Amino acid sequence: MSDLSPSSALDELVQIMRRLRDPETGCAWDREQSFATIAPYTIEEAYEVADAIERGDMDDLKDELGDLQLQVVYHARIAEELGAFSIADVIDAISAKMVRRHPHIFGDEAQSPGWEALKAAERGQRDDPSALAGVALALPALKRAEKLQRRAARVGFDWPDVGGPRDKIHEELAEIDAAQTQDERAAEVGDLLFSVVNLARHLDVDPEAALREAAARFEQRFRKVEILSERPLSGMSIDELEALWQRAKREIQTLR
């Protein structure tokens, strides 16, 4: 554990970023960056934080949280140079929001009206009155689809049970088969994926986590197939590949 106070440690990072962005003596690469060019790194760092958590690697988590904190400081520094806001404004804003959304802790209310209710009230004060307002465009597609569906469901725009999204999946599969152009097929595949997210939501399954776990299972099994194979996979028939796949699944299951 560091002997530095949180405020001192943050201030040191802020000063480092200020020097890196100095127009005369700073780093050429860092000076050239903008909100848009840094945004992909911000998203990537958030995923690396999640990966470290999933692996239970505390040392890596410490490093990845630092990388993510750097992104916050970076964006704030660019904003400060534009005269928009500073890192202090960012911290003040989130502190005020947390106090505002916990009136049962920091205020006089005995019980919280609920996080979502408080967020909805704040959205109602914005220019966009839609129930879908504020769902970030930069979210991963599966997560954004789920959030849009949950927002719509809060105002009653939802299937009454799991049968609705299940039937919709069959409908979308038929529409893919009927599509005549590549653009039509792409649109119908998108609708199918959106319907699968809806089914997952009705089953109380996180589609992002479910797909990530499915990808991990596929990778584990495919690597096992490569180990079991006695010749290049590219030269095998589909029946031979399927036999290896089933063997890999059995052997992995036996090891658990």
Per-residue pLDDT tens over the stretch 107-117:
776 666 666 66
Specify the pLDDT at position 110: 61
Residue 252 · residue 221 · CB < 8 Å: yes
Tokens of 229: 């194979």
Query: Rounded to 10 degrees, what is the CA torsion of 57, 47, 42, 141?
Result: -170
Contacts with 187 (C-beta within 8 Å, 6 or more apart), sequence order: 179
Specify the pLDDT at position 124: 57
DSSP E strands, 184-229: none
Task: Say which amino acid occupies 159.
Answer: W
With 0.75 as the threshold, say if the pTM is over it: no
Specify the pLDDT at position 145: 95
Residues of the chain with confidence (pLDDT) below 70: 109-126, 255-256
Specify the pLDDT at position 136: 83
Specify the pLDDT at position 1: 74
Tokens of 157: 């725009």
